Structures are given as structure tokens and as C-alpha cells.
Amino acid sequence: MALRFYNTLTQSVEEFAPADGKTVRMYTCGPTVYNYAHIGNLRTFTFEDVLRRWLRARGYQLNHVMNITDVEDKIIRKAAEQHKSIQEYTEQYTRAFLEDTATLRLERPERLVKATEHIDDMVRAVQELEAKGFTYTTDGSVYYSIQKFPEYGKLSHNDFSGVRAGARVDVDEYEKADARDFVLWKAPKENEPFWDTPIGPGRPGWHIECSVMAMKYLGATLDIHCGGVDLIFPHHENEIAQSEAITGKPFARFWLHSEFLNIDSQKMAKSAGNFYTLRDLLAMGHTPEAVRYVLLSVPYRKKLNFTFDGLQAAATAIDRLRNFKLRLETEKFADGSNEQISARTQTALRQFEDSLDDDLNTAEALGAIFEYVRDVNTAMDSGEFRRGNVEAALDLLQRFDCIADVLRPTQKQESGLADDDVEALIAQRQQAKKARNFPRADEVRKQLQDAGIILEDTKEGTRWKRK
């Protein structure tokens, strides 16, 4: 089956290939760096990571641009509260965002671009929209007149034809019921930072930023534009209105949106006391891999109900996979190859790939792998699994992990034991045992244990893993 995605624009599942057949030109709305990203934000970024990895597994190259929104209403307010410049204020959270996404093993987009480094481009875009008659100016601010763009509403599938001409909105985020002419360029209020430009002093609205940076680096028509469902309106609707007014071409061929994350079936909110950042979860002792697993385990178009039981179950699932891999790598199997198992491995691979081709159905893809692990563990126990089946099984796990990326344990900073150190200590323990120096052997075992290393003595020697 061909690769296909649900396209918010057409409200249908469509076959996907990049326009040039080779490189996927993709834009994803990045963070507004006024705070630490919470796990709801990180769910969207994890979905985009899985999308990246699967597009590449399907043989495509990527040109992926993500913006960093480093000037916006909330940032200006917060920076002023702390008597900091916008740059000082946003720098700490930009760094934190990059650290958190690296911890979660999210691949870096090919290009990360900051809004404040593209003010000139945005000013030129506003001038173009002015020249084409899509704007008007009031009190030094420039607005986009949505009546001038008859297709307004085509992404969110709303009919805005009854909206009163000239009703305006200055804030970056607003509800559907408030569809209004939106601000492209904001005149500065008292004590607000601003840029002096040919269209007057001020700062860009949030929406123009993404249109401008997307088209600057990816061209008039993108292959894929992504974001959370909360961005469909007004943000992405406005991006389409701006970009298509400038170019007269479709702005993006595919629009992919990921659903919300709830905590214990409730909306995550600071006021509800159920608001978590990645840092919060790590401080509670959870691993980045378990968080990553939870975030990717639910298909992106379904609401994800985050629970601590679910996070615990993710850690157990990862352990099962790691133990399976260890077994493949260390157990001695009888010679030969079992044809039935070869066929079973092929089936699992096909199920895994078909599931991801089907609009990234990660739940089914994981299901296919776990059923396989269960079947093969049984075959190993009964001696049916042969040495000749190992390679294909490991290959399947590797293909799985190219997407899931959970098999490698995060090195614990505090344990400080590199793999080589662990191996050396295990060798020392073997020698001590051979020399019947059992106190020394126990001492080494204890040392490893304290560093979070678990030993398992088998017929074939000692296996180890990190806690």
C-alpha cells in the first residue's frame, strides 16, 4: 500500500509523495519561547519527528523548516515583567527547547529559523499585500482584510462570509467565533519594543512570520505543513490567506494536524495542577524513552490520554523489547533456519510498514512488533527458533527502532559508567569467581548494582543491562 495521510484541507486520506518525487519540503510551526514546552507541545513535536523518520524510511529526502517564535504578545509581557530584553528573555527558553527535544531524541529540522531575524522579509511581505490591495491601516497598524480573500475558511471548513467588514483583532490567538481582520503589523504601544521600518515602527503579527519564513526557504507551495489542531484556526487559516494572496498559488499540498493531549482525561492546565513539562517527568524518575514511547504510541489524530500508569506501562514495554534484543544477541540457538519463523518475521515487517503508511498508525505498528516478540519468545523457549533466524529478527527490531528510537537507554549521568567500564568490571568479576575469590566477585556485583547495572548470569555467560 502506498503512503497516505489525512489532509485537513481536503478532509480526506490521500496518497502522498513530494511534488518533485524526491525531497519533502515541510514546515512545522515551532515553539513560542516564553516558557518551557509542556508535554502537550512535545506530543506534536514527537509526531513530527515520527513523520520525518517515516518519510526518510520511505526513501525521501527532507527539507524541513521550523520557526522559533521569539516575538509575540506573551513574550513581550513576560520580558517586561522581568525587566529583560526580548532577546535575553527568549534565549533561555530557546535553549531549554533545544535541550528538551534532544533529550526526547527528536531530530533537528534541517533549518530552525527565528522570527526576529526575518523582520525585513516580513515587512516586504506586508508591502506586497498592501500593493495587492489586501490590507488597510488603522492607527499605524496594518490589517489583513479577510473579505478580500474569498477562500478564507477553506482549511478550518468554516463559512465566514457573514463576518462584518472592518471588524478587527489585534491579538495573535482568538476563537472561531471571533473571525476578524487580523493584524499583520502592530504599531507599538507605550513602552513596547519595536522595529523602525519603511511601513512604520512596530512588530510583526504571529501569522505573517510563518508565511514568510516557510516561503523564503521552501518556495510558494510546500509539500507538508504541520502543527497542533489548535493552530488550524486562526493561525493556519491566516497563513493560507497571506501566502496565497502574495503568490496566487496553493500554499501547502498537505496539512497534517495532531490532536490534544489530556492528563487523566482532563485538559492540562496550570490551574488544575496537572501541568507537566519534560523536566517535571524526568525529575520524578521517568526516563526520556518512556515519555517518548507514550507520546508516539497513540496515532497523532487521536486524543492522547496521558496517565502515570501509561508511563509505567511504557517503561515495561521498552524493557520487554530490550530483553528480547538481548536474547537475540546472546542466546545460543540451534543451527539452521526455521522457515515458519522467517515467514513470521516477514509478516511482522509488512504489518509494521503498512501501519505507518496508513496515516502513521503508530498504535498498530507497535502492536505488530509486540505480537511478533511474543511469538518469537515462545519459539525460543520451545527451541524452534534457530540461529539462521536471528539476523532477520534483529533487522526488524532495527527498522522499528529507526522510528521509535527507544531501545538505547539514556546514559545515566550519575552512574558515570560507560559501556566499556561495565564490560571491564564484569570481566573482573568473572576472574574473581574463577579464582574462587567470592567476596571480591560480590563486591564488583554490588558496585555495578549501585551504578544501575543489572547482571544476569546465563549458561552463555553474563548479560547486563541498565536499570
- State the residues that interact with Zn ion by CB under 5 A: 29, 210
- The vertex-232 CA angle with 229 and 233, nearest 5°, equals 125
- The nearer residue to Zn ion, 66 or 321, going by C-beta atoms, is 66
Task: Judge contact between 454 and 464, C-beta under 8 A.
Answer: yes
- The nearer residue to Zn ion, 29 or 55, going by C-beta atoms, is 29
Q: Report d(CA 410, CA 168) in Å as an integer.
A: 50
Task: Judge contact between 239 and 214, C-beta under 8 A.
Answer: yes
- The nearer residue to Zn ion, 210 or 296, going by C-beta atoms, is 210
Q: Smallest gap, in angstroms, from Cβ of residue 71 to Zn ion?
A: 13
E-state strands within 103-196: 111-114, 135-138, 141-144, 168-169, 181-186
Q: Smallest gap, in angstroms, from Cβ of residue 210 to Zn ion?
A: 3
Q: Smallest gap, in angstroms, from Cβ of residue 29 to Zn ion?
A: 3
- The nearer residue to Zn ion, 31 or 153, going by C-beta atoms, is 31
Which residue, among 219, 212, 269, 217, has the nearest Cα to 242 in the 3D structure?
A: 212
Q: Smallest gap, in angstroms, from Cβ of residue 235 to Zn ion?
A: 6
- The nearer residue to Zn ion, 29 or 432, going by C-beta atoms, is 29
Q: Smallest gap, in angstroms, from Cβ of residue 218 to Zn ion?
A: 13
- The nearer residue to Zn ion, 29 or 365, going by C-beta atoms, is 29
Q: Smallest gap, in angstroms, from Cβ of residue 44 to Zn ion?
A: 12
Q: Report d(CA 411, CA 393) in Å as an integer.
A: 25
Q: Report d(CA 95, CA 450) in Å as an integer.
A: 32
Q: Smallest gap, in angstroms, from Cβ of residue 233 to Zn ion?
A: 13
Strand, coil or helix: what is 378? helix
- The nearer residue to Zn ion, 210 or 417, going by C-beta atoms, is 210
- The nearer residue to Zn ion, 232 or 296, going by C-beta atoms, is 232
Q: Smallest gap, in angstroms, from Cβ of residue 307 to Zn ion?
A: 30
- The nearer residue to Zn ion, 52 or 207, going by C-beta atoms, is 207
Strand, coil or helix: what is 95? helix
Task: Judge contact between 388 and 337, C-beta under 8 A.
Answer: yes
C-alpha neighbours within 13 Å on the C-beta side of residue 120:
1
Q: Report d(CA 409, CA 417) in Å as an integer.
A: 13
Q: Smallest gap, in angstroms, from Cβ of residue 184 to Zn ion?
A: 14
Strand-strand pairing, 168-169 and 181-186: parallel
Residue-by-residue DSSP string for 420-463: HHHHHHHHHHHHHHHTT-HHHHHHHHHHHHHTTEEEEEETTEEE
Residue-by-residue DSSP string for 141-162: EEEE-GGG-TTTTTTTT---TT
